Structure 1
Amino acid sequence: MAQNKLLFHLSDIHFGLEDKSALAWVEREIAERRPDAVAITGDLTMRARPPEFAAAEKWIHALSVPVTVEPGNHDLPGYHLPSRYLDPLGRFEAFREVVEKRIELPGLALVPLNTNVPAQPRLNWSKGWVSDRALSDCLRQIDALPEGTMALVTVHHPLRETGTQGTALTRNGEKALAALAQRPVLAVLSGHVHDAFDIMEKTEHGPVRMIGAGTLSQRIRSTPPSFNELTWDGATLHVTVRNLENIDTPDMMIDDVPEDAMPPREAGEPVAPVGRVPRTDPPVH
């Protein structure tokens, strides 16, 4: 029997507006539980400012476990357009070795898929876009895995195209999911919406499981700060949404990816939960 794997799935820490108590709690959990890997699915920073990246670098390098980080839309320079176009990940330099890092464990691998582009032909650049190059690189890495290895694909934006063409969350998300459905992919891990979810997304080639993590920042949406604890026994991937308020996992999960994924923008705006959205069906494991 395969040895159990323990993974922590974190997202949307937003250094600059991080929840310090929640972050200290997660750091203690990592030190005590020693997960096999930690996946951070984007938005490490609030405004991609150097002090925020310095805080993120210090925190990540203090963790003595394997870490992989996906960039999020908040991590790309928003105001200095030359940097955004020419070197969008340049501010990750101090810990570039963990950005989009593939982590291989016996029988299980974390494989990155970048959902950010420097610019796109719509006004809201915060939304996701899977480029052909990013998808090809992800598929190549999955195809190169040892036989029998299952993949967890790490992204920032959920691979969902909802609403009209102008309000779609992630362009080419359906294309990416259809390609991943043809490969040994356990699930796609994402962030961005600041609430946890665990849903099966239909594609023309079969379903793909999408797992979203909540936030560890002050920018909460409908649930308190949290992270996902994933356990894999070689047959079943189980998700527990860990939080300091001891709310059960089903009550921490939203039923679907919201079309409007924006939480309150600033610390001064109301951030208290406005009512958790309970699932109407049990999570799929």
Structure 2
Amino acid sequence: MTRIAHLSDLHFGFHRQALVGPLLDRVNRARADLVVVTGDLTHRGRPGQFRDAARFLARINAPVMAVPGNHDVPLYNIPVRFVAPWVEYRQAIDPQLAPTRAAGRVRVLGLNSVDPFTWQRGVIRDGEIGRLIAGFDALATNIVALHHPLQHLPGIDKQLARRAPQALRRLEDAGAQIVLSGHLHLWTAQALLAHGHRHILQIQAGTALCARLGDLQNEFAVLEIEGDHLTIERHIARMDEDGFRPPEMLAFRRGVQGWQALDPATPADHSAAGGQPVPTLPGATETAFSTA
């Protein structure tokens, strides 16, 4: 059994300061074998925000791996954004932009999906899909971690990362079992299984710390992987509450027909009963200066 904690979109510099302690306490009590952070550790890619993010990561007891998000390159310092976008990230977070980690029988492969030449839209670069596939372990559960989702539910008004559909198809065909992402500040997992890719479970995280009121809640998830069974604990802190609620539980099983949810659709997922998407929450908009 392997436990992976998945955090995304911390947005240090525009974060809920009062939730930092409760988040650290809940993450450390989860006793994860690995903590995966899928981007947007900072709000504007500023040095002080990276220092805050690095201090936060240093207080996590488990090993940590991270990939950058579109907010982790400078927004206003245009020359640095285009010429040396990763300087602060490499110094504060990790010299590697696409690390790989192993925990038990789980292998997590990072992918840098950020395009410094656009505000929000990501890109899957040439050669990256092949690199990931070459790193798969046939005897392990292979997880790909990146910031930008590889698929959107209906009603999402952001553009997919360039080459995302090709990446999703090739990764699924090659045997990737799970994809972790963030970016939208909207939780989705079960609902995506009804949209054509049942052999790869796409878990899109909400925001762990962003203070934007329109997001309504902060959250992170803990994945417990044991063979072909997956249990997910969703830890949610509503914006009008001081801390995290008891975790909501989801369970999945992987078989010859792909992933199957073992519990019915609930309000915990970004879908209503019957698999129909609920309206997009406020704030998930395709504008240059919005948070997501």
- 220, 238, 258: which one aligns with 1:227: 220
Secondary structure of residue in 1 paired with 2:18: helix
Residue 112 (structure 1) aligns with: 110
253-262 or 110-119: which moved more? 253-262
| In 2: Cα distance, 1:190 partner to 1:223 partner | 19
Instruction: Tell me the amino acid that sits aligned with residue 209 of structure 1.
Output: L
| In 2: Cα distance, 1:176 partner to 1:202 partner | 14
Contact kept in structure 1, 2:32 and 2:62, CA below 8 Å: yes
Correspondence 1:163-242 to 2 at 5 A: 168-198=159-189, 199-200=192-193, 201-202=195-196, 207-215=199-207, 216-242=209-235
Contact kept in structure 2, 1:219 and 1:263, CA below 8 Å: no
Structure 1 spans left out of the alignment, 5+ residues: 268-285
Contact kept in structure 2, 1:193 and 1:263, CA below 8 Å: no
Contact kept in structure 1, 2:5 and 2:36, CA below 8 Å: yes
Residue 91 (structure 1) aligns with: 88
Quickly say closer, same or farther: Cα 1:172–1:90, change in 2 above 3 A.
Answer: same
Q: Structure 1, residues 123-182: CA drift from partner, whole Å, max 9, x if none? A: xx302211113323322322xx3x31121110111112688xx96322211000011111
Quickly say closer, same or farther: Cα 1:170–1:188, change in 2 above 3 A.
Answer: same
Secondary structure of residue in 1 paired with 2:178: strand
| In 2: Cα distance, 1:20 partner to 1:33 partner | 21
Correspondence 1:129-168 to 2 at 5 A: 129-142=123-136, 145=137, 147-160=138-151, 168=159
TM-score, length basis structure 1: 0.79
Instruction: Tell me the amino acid that sits aligned with residue 129 of structure 2.
Output: L
In the TM superposition, residue 29 of structure 1 has moved relative to its aligned partner by 2.0
Instruction: Tell me the amino acid that sits aligned with residue 196 of structure 2.
Output: K
| In 2: Cα distance, 1:167 partner to 1:18 partner | 22
Residue 42 in structure 1 maps to residue 39 in structure 2: yes
Contact kept in structure 1, 2:108 and 2:143, CA below 8 Å: yes
Quickly say closer, same or farther: Cα 1:106–1:246, change in 2 above 3 A.
Answer: closer
Instruction: Tell me the amino acid that sits aligned with residue 121 of structure 2.
Output: K
In the TM superposition, residue 97 of structure 1 has moved relative to its aligned partner by 4.6
Residue 59 in structure 1 maps to residue 62 in structure 2: no
Secondary structure of residue in 1 paired with 2:134: helix
